Amino acid sequence: MQHNLPNLNVIDLFLKLLSFESITPDDAGSLAFIESYLPGFESIYVNEGGVKNLFMYKKFGEGDHLCFAGHVDVVPPGNNWESDPFVPMIKEGKIYARGTQDMKSGVAAFVQTLKEVETFDGILSLLLTSDEEGDAKYGTVIMLEHLKQIDMLPDYCIVAEPTCEEKFGDAIKIGRRGSINGYLTIQGKQGHAAYPEKAINPVHQIAPLLDKLAGIDLDNGDEDFAPSKMVITDIRGGMEVTNVTPGELKIMFNVRNSTKTSQEDVRMHIDNVLKGLDYTLELTQGSYPFVTERGSKVVENITKSIKTVTGVDTKLSTAGGTSDARFMGAFGIDVVEFGVINDTIHAPNERTSIEEVEQLHKVFVDLVKHF
């Protein structure tokens, strides 16, 4: 049951959210608090595998459906904190606590925006999970599957991950690269180092080919993405002795791929380079690339709102790792990411400034007003 809680300002709300010890996948009661904070919004929970997922929405008009999305879970605090990571400390205009940047600042900013909104030509919603920092198997993706079943998928989405680089407002994410992992095993024939002619040494086989594998661009990139690059992360073979040649050599690699390179492209590259060798190759993909068109309504509108609030011309970026925005892209939702400066996430003494959180709130208010 929802209870109409007092209307806090965005910083008060932020401090409250930081006090929940919501280490993945435990939301620690934060989702129930947010639900109670937004009376008038309908709530849907889809919970599975110890993960809680909350979707809240309110129909104001017949226009577009704009969703704010994010996660309430945080990584474990670790050591070397100068204060209690779940008791927010304010010092010289900055707030210190686990989750300040990643990403309770973003959650506070859009929850407060939804609390204050009075009119909108369409549907406003939020989607929150308690499992973004973990495997995400039972997180945002299963809520999106449910929303698709009930015909409630958003048209546009803002994921409030920390995206800014040097100053607030300088970067938004309009896409992300995917991540392909490769496990390559080259088979040889073990033998005595004194009789190399009787062995097949996979190290010797790969040596003249290694520069065709290591650090290779698999495409030329484009306006949105840098080239997809094959990066070798581990090579090992042999028995750690000096008189036995290895029977096999194992290579691990990663490709942060754009929309121009697929698993099949990677496999074809390996086949071309290692033609004639006895090897096996396994490829897995942890995330898939996506990009939202630069002319999309959500890209243009949030860019304008950032400029209005901060005076900064924002950069459209696809750099960095991954986030739950990848799931939005997979469901055909135009999605962008925008939040505070990203420089202390997952670190001891994680912090963000009061000014950034207040400005983020103002950007979201302006976005909703003019969307």
Residues catalogued as catalytic: 73, 132
Distance between CA 163 and CA 319 in Å, rounded? 10
DSSP code, position 102: I
Of 72, 68, 98, 21, the C-alpha closest to 361 is 68
Environment class of 59 (CB within 10 Å of its CB; exposed 0-12, middle 13-18, buried 19+) = middle
Of 335, 338, 340, the C-alpha closest to 297 is 335
- CA distances 39 to 3, 5, 35, Å, are 7, 8, 7
Name the strand (E) or helix (H) holding 64. Answer: none
**Residue ranges with strand state E in 92-217:** 94-96, 123-129, 156-159, 171-173, 175-176, 178-187, 191-192, 216-217
Phi, psi dihedral angles at 21 (to 5 degrees): -85, 70
Distance between CA 235 and CA 248 in Å, rounded? 11
Distance between CA 296 and CA 137 in Å, rounded? 29
Distance between CA 99 and CA 161 in Å, rounded? 11
Give me the DSSP letters along 306-365: HHHHH---PEEE--SS--THHHHHHTT-EEEE--SB-SSTTSTT-EEEHHHHHHHHHHHH
